[in-house]
Amino acid sequence: MSTIVVEGVEVDTRHWINGERVASATTFTDVSPIDETPLGEIAAGGPAEVDAAVRAARAAFPAWAALPVAERSAVLRRVADGIDARAEDLARVETRDNGSLLRSHRRGVMPRVGMNFRYFADWAESLRHDDREIRGHRERITYDPAGVVAVITPWNAPLMLATWRIGPALAAGDTVVVKPPEWAPLTASLLADIAHEAGLPPGVLNVVQGTGAEAGAALTRHPDINRLSFTGSVPTAGVIAAAAAPNIVPLSFELGGKSPLLVFADGDLDLAVGLAVEQFDNAGQVCLGAFRLLVQEGIAEEFLARVIDRASALVQGDPRDEATDVSALVSRAHFERVRGFVDRAVAAGAKPLLGGGPNAALGGLYFAPTILAGAEPGSEILTEEVFGPVLTFQTFATEAEGIAMANSTRFGLAATLVTGDPGRAERVSARLNAGTVWVNCFFVRDLGAPFGGNGRSGIGREGGDYSFDFYCDIKNSVFSPGGWTVSHGEAELGAVSYREAERRAVSHGEAEQRTTETDGTDA
């Protein structure tokens, strides 16, 4: 069958290539983490489907890139309107597909999906640099569409994180081939329908489903892609980088995290406890989560008691129930991975203060909210990303010690800091190794601000101009003030290179003072 019905919503299980539905000879089974029941058989793409999608995107690129920005943006706003109109359908399908809370999809995730299109459509229309002047010459910096963009997305927030890349890429004038996650592919298929209904031309957005080993590998090594954006794990990023390297494809990687929640004794304890418990959101399957609780001595005992009390009251269960706080992990393979981290930590001496294993009352893929203490510094549980509802607890004495502990991993995606001292907030945030630092807050960011990680947390930044810096080829055009006129049998400056003009000036004893000439012209 080419369609399935999920939570009352019909979803096409075929690829979307060049404005048409395309089947594959092979399929894979999509399983709901809520109860581990199969949702349906999904078309599994490989090199042939990827090549067809890339060729379609390449063919569609000239017309889409040439479309005036205002017209492109108008199409993207219609896509946003279509997303908003179907937000409930998208929320129900994605909840069933990846197990995230329905209430979160309704209140925050799906509104953000529409915003990703609308925001970057608006931003593209205002994107410009002021002209520059150098020795009477005018320099104009412009953003040219780069070409075909490959987008490979994760399963923890598949539609929101896909559109965070698709939105600016399309607004920039690029065309896109997206490979959704095999553990949660369905809302990408619905997005294709919505974009088509909004008038997005054939080939501008293509969706190829499949596994990383087949569809993902074929896409990352394809010689006709111009940008590649990936969100996922560090090991997979290494494989992708190696595959893309021969084609010199620019990469944007948003990878893992092992972020700290750094709580000082002068901070608001109520706030700190609330932020700690918030880290169990989406069953801990959040790259930005602050899963390392680092608490200053003196308040540590009270903080820990209050966090355990609050976390014990969290409701774990079916994510379609509005009362549920913590749902299931996305797959059996991931469940076993998380359990392995905890089992190894406990075997090495860590003590579970809360949870520590599967939720015995629920069974299935439900892993109980867990807090571990007593892990050895430098141990796996403190340095590697678990990506589950597992927090670790440590204490520190001084500000310097707290900063050192916060920076003691190879990751640098985010950090959260709680303090009542403005001076400390400035000092500590400046020294934390993180792409984003939240001070007395969490998960607050304007879409125009840069987002990305340091170290093993990624490459590059996206958001606002930073997105267009990646999805565009940035051009500098230098215009001579005198055109191409000829005087005394010799071309004026602007008709010859700066190097040649300088040589002539020097030869006549007329070299200008060079206090402002280190502009890289000769590089």
Single out the residue of 400, 379, 377 nearest to residue 264, CA to CA. 400
Taking CA 364 as the corner, what is the angle to CA 359 and CA 368, rounded to the nearest 5 degrees? 25
Catalytic annotation present for 254:
yes
Contact 20, 186 (CB under 8 A): no
What is the secondary structure of 472-515 as a DSSP string?
Answer: EEEEEEEE-SSTT-EETTEEPTTSS-HHHHHHHHHHTT-PPP-T
Pairwise CA distance, residues 192 & 195, whole Å: 5
Rounded to whole angstroms, what are the CA distances from 297 to 263, 265, 279, 392, 489?
A: 10, 7, 21, 16, 81
Catalytic residue among 94, 254, 385, 502: 254
For 273-324, the three-class secondary structure string (H helix, E strand, C coil) is: HHHHHHCCHHHHCCCCCCCEEEEECCCHHHHHHHHHHHHHCCCECCCCCCCC
Pairwise CA distance, residues 458 & 413, whole Å: 8
Catalytic residue among 94, 182, 287, 385: 287
Pairwise CA distance, residues 393 & 371, whole Å: 7
Q: Which residues are catalytic?
A: 254, 287
